[in-house]
Amino acid sequence: MAKKKIAVLTGGGDAPGLNAVIYTLVRACHSMFDCEMIGYKFGYRGMYLNDFVKLDRASTTGILRRGGSILYNSNKDNLFNYTVVENGVEVQKDVSDIAIQNMKNEGVDTLVVLGGDGTLTSARDFYRRGFNVIGVPKTIDNDLPATEATFGFDTAVNIVAENLGRLHTTAESHHRVIVVEVMGRSAGWICLHAGIAGSADVIIIPEIPYSVDGIVKKIAERDAQGKPFTIVAVTEGACGEDGKPLVSKFVKGSPDAERFGGVAKYIADQVEARIKDKHEVRHCVLGHIQRGGDTSPADRILSARYGFKAAEMIRDGEFGKMVCLKAGKMDSVTLEEVLGSGETGETAKGGAKTVDPNGELVKVARAMGISFAER
């Protein structure tokens, strides 16, 4: 096998486990075949600007446990539809040729892309342009349908469950209600898993519309049981009474431009207006704490499996595919299958893998006495 030159990049938001994939991929590639590796900085932007670092055992030592990405992340750099300033005016251009030329100049023959829907759509498009590409799926939300599990999710669940535990002691001391907002744009996996593990009394997920009445009912039930404090865990993408999630900001150039947020404060205000003679209500937004710090051991292992499988796929010439977990085993699926055959440059909007409101885990939670605050 001829010597290979492999480039790696991490696109989209960061997720704990990206570094563990890089760590394992670098070591597995070097042990399987003769190669050189580089990492583009800030996702596709680094490809366009030819901004990269060398990846080898020395430059990746000690990163297995670290969250974030040593290659940095960007979620607004679609090179097939890139924002450039010409004569003082912002215009959208296809600059993919420049990136391809940069890779050719460096002798890069294989590209490994770690990212979510948006990043992987561009990976598919570079494959269409004749490049050897392998995708590795990433999201802490665990909502990608083409794989059973994504790294970062377990870490987020651990962080949320731990913090729900912390909030219990202070809520109990003050006889308060605390509403905790957790990540999950359109899927309630983090909230459901962490809510169960962290003993939330109410779990609110986008898949089950909530009502303030439902929350107030649970608080009254707990009061009657001699438990005058309540923890409500709510997903940022939960739908308010009008059936829409609350939007906190817009990120220009990002495939999912709307950022959801503010639902914990909204709920806290609504609930307090109804029960202020009995309890004070506070809210707490865990935000990016859920993606920070060390990667959980389970995510390190899952990431290592993804990195190893990607190296095997490079060795075996399996390109235009994404690594996935299927029936508990590492497998692969074509990028076209995952992202559809839409126009090059247009970000695919694959349906999210959402929580089944009648699924096992929801039933388990209900049996434990957890309320979903249904309308």
User: CA-to-CA distance for 322 and 333, rounded, in angstroms?
Assistant: 5
Minimum Å gap between C-beta 131 and ligand F6P is 26
The residue count for binding ligand F6P (CB under 6 A) is 12
DSSP per position, 200-259:
-SEEE-TTS-B-HHHHHHHHHHHHHTT---EEEEEETT---TTS-PPEEEE-TT-SS-EE
CB closer to ligand F6P out of 249 and 363: 249
User: CA-to-CA distance for 94 and 97, rounded, in angstroms?
Assistant: 8
Minimum Å gap between C-beta 199 and ligand F6P is 22
Quick check: is 141 catalytic? yes
Q: Please give the helix or strand (H or E) that residue 180 lies within, else none.
A: strand 177-182
Which window, 17-25, 183-191, 215-223, 272-280, contacts ligand F6P (CB under 6 A)?
Answer: 183-191
HEC string for 120-185:
HHHHHHHHHCCCEEEEEECCCCCCCCCCCCCCCHHHHHHHHHHHHHHHHHHHHHHCCEEEEEECCC
CB closer to ligand F6P out of 127 and 266: 266
* Of 125, 141, 154, 201, catalytic: 141
Q: Determine if 186 is a binding residue for ligand F6P (CB under 6 A).
A: no
Minimum Å gap between C-beta 15 and ligand F6P is 7
Question: Is residue 261 within 8 Å of 248, Cβ to Cβ?
Answer: yes
Minimum Å gap between C-beta 361 and ligand F6P is 19
Return the CA Rg of the chain: 22
User: CA-to-CA distance for 130 and 75, rounded, in angstroms?
Assistant: 24
Question: Which residues ranging from 244 to 283 are in contact with ligand F6P (CB under 6 A)?
Answer: 251, 259-260
User: CA-to-CA distance for 175 and 66, rounded, in angstroms?
Assistant: 37
Show Cβ contacts of residue 118 under 8 Å, excluding neighbours closer than 6 positions.
Answer: 11, 12, 75, 78, 254, 255, 256, 347
Amino acid at 215: I
Q: Determine if 113 is a binding residue for ligand F6P (CB under 6 A).
A: no
Question: Which residues ranging from 49 to 78 are in contact with ligand F6P (CB under 6 A)?
Answer: 75
CB closer to ligand F6P out of 52 and 260: 260
Minimum Å gap between C-beta 120 and ligand F6P is 13
Q: Determine if 204 is a binding residue for ligand F6P (CB under 6 A).
A: no
Buried b (16+ CB within 10 A) or exposed e, 211-234: ebebbbebbeebbeeeebbbbbbb
Minimum Å gap between C-beta 293 and ligand F6P is 14
CB closer to ligand F6P out of 46 and 184: 184
Q: Determine if 185 is a binding residue for ligand F6P (CB under 6 A).
A: yes
CB closer to ligand F6P out of 75 and 155: 75
Question: Which residues ranging from 114 to 173 are in contact with ligand F6P (CB under 6 A)?
Answer: 139-141
CB closer to ligand F6P out of 84 and 251: 251
Please pick, from the candidates 7, 9, 10, 13, the single residue that binds ligand F6P as defined by CB under 6 A. 13
Give the catalytic positions in this structure. 141
* Binding interface with ligand F6P (CB under 6 A): 13, 75, 139-141, 183-185, 236, 251, 259-260
